[in-house]
C-alpha cells in the first residue's frame, strides 16, 4: 500500500494532481477541496489510498490521514465505490460525516450527488458502527485556509468539479452563476467552500 506521497506539485487536471516523487510523476485523484490547497511547484504531502482493479491501479489523495481512513471506511458499505466515497468527502468533512451518521441525518447524505433518500438511509445503517463517534466540533468549511494559486480561475475549477460529481455541464454552469455573489465577497475565492454552497443549494431545490 502507498500510504502517502511527498514532493513538488508538477501539474494539475480538474480532478487530480501530479506529484513528482523521486523523478516519477504520480497521478493522484483528489477532491476539489484538496486540490485547492495545492500550489504548482511547491512541496506537498498527501495521504493516499491505492484502489486496485483488474484493469487499473488508481491512487487517491487526501489532505490528511483522517480523510484517507474515512474514504476507505466508506467503501465498506455496499454500493459505495471510490468515486462515491470521494464525492462524499467533497461535500462533507470526515467529522461532518461522523456527526451525520451518529445523528441519523439522511438529509446530509442526500446532499452528495448520486445518493438518494433510500440510499442515504441504507448508508446510515451500514456506517453506524464503522465510522466511529464524532471527535469534536464540525468545521464550517471543508477547507481551512485560503485558496492558493491554481491552474485555472475559480469558476473553471468549480465547473469542472461539479461536472466530475455528476452535474450536466449546463447545470454546473447554473450552479457557478448562483454562487458568484458569494465568490465576489472573497478576497481569494475558496473553491472548496463554493463547491459546498453549490451542492447544498442543489439539495434544497430538490
Q: Which of 67-76, 129-138, 144-153, 189-198 has the highest mean pLDDT?
A: 67-76
pLDDT value of position 202: 62
Average pLDDT of the residues of the chain: 82
Q: What is the CATH architecture assignment of 66-127?
A: Orthogonal Bundle (1.10)
Q: Given 3-state DSSP classes, what are the helix, strand and coil percentages for the chain, each rounded to the nearest 5? A: 45, 20, 35
CATH fold match for the domains 4-62 and 66-127: no
Spatial contact of 142 and 92, defined as CB atoms under 8 Å apart: yes
pLDDT value of position 4: 93
Domain residue spans in the chain?
4-62, 66-127, 154-204
- Cβ within 8 Å of residue 109, ≥6 positions away: 88, 100, 115, 119, 120, 123, 124
pTM over 0.75: no
pLDDT for 186 beyond 90:
no
* Buried b or exposed e, range 80-106, using 16+ CB within 10 angstroms: bebbbbbbbbbbbbbbbbbbbbeeebb
Which percentage of the chain shows pLDDT scores above 90? Answer: 41
Using CB atoms within 10 Å of the CB of residue 52, give its burial: 0 to 12 exposed, 13 to 18 middle, 19+ buried.
exposed
Pick the CATH number of 4-62 from 3.40.50.620, 2.40.40.20, 2.40.50.140, 3.40.50.1100: 2.40.50.140
Cell 473553491 belongs to residue = 191
| Class of 154-204 in CATH | mainly alpha
Average pLDDT over residues 61-76: 94
Which percentage of the chain shows pLDDT scores above 70? Answer: 88
Amino acid at each position: 500500500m502507498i500510504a502517502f506521497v511527498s514532493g513538488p506539485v508538477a501539474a494539475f487536471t480538474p480532478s487530480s494532481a501530479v506529484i513528482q516523487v523521486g523523478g516519477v510523476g504520480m497521478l493522484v485523484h483528489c477532491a476539489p477541496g484538496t486540490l485547492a490547497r495545492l500550489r504548482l511547484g511547491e512541496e506537498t504531502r498527501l495521504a493516499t489510498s491505492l484502489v486496485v482493479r483488474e484493469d487499473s491501479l488508481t491512487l487517491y489523495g487526501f489532505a490528511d490521514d483522517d480523510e484517507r481512513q474515512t474514504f476507505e471506511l466508506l467503501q465498506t458499505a455496499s454500493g459505495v465505490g471510490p468515486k462515491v466515497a470521494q464525492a462524499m468527502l467533497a461535500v462533507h468533512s470526515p467529522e461532518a460525516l461522523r456527526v451525520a451518521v451518529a445523528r441519523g441525518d439522511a438529509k446530509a447524505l442526500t446532499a452528495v450527488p448520486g445518493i438518494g433518500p433510500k440510499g442515504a438511509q441504507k448508508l446510515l445503517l451500514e456506517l453506524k458502527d464503522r465510522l466511529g463517534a464524532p471527535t469534536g466540533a464540525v468545521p464550517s468549511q471543508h477547507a481551512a485556509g485560503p485558496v492558493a494559486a491554481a491552474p485555472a480561475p475559480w469558476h473553471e475549477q468549480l465547473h469542472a468539479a461539479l461536472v466530475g460529481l455528476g452535474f450536466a455541464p449546463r447545470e454546473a454552469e447554473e450552479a457557478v452563476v448562483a454562487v458568484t455573489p458569494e465568490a465576489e465577497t472573497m478576497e481569494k475565492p475558496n473553491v472548496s467552500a463554493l463547491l459546498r454552497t453549490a451542492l447544498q443549494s442543489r439539495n434544497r431545490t430538490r
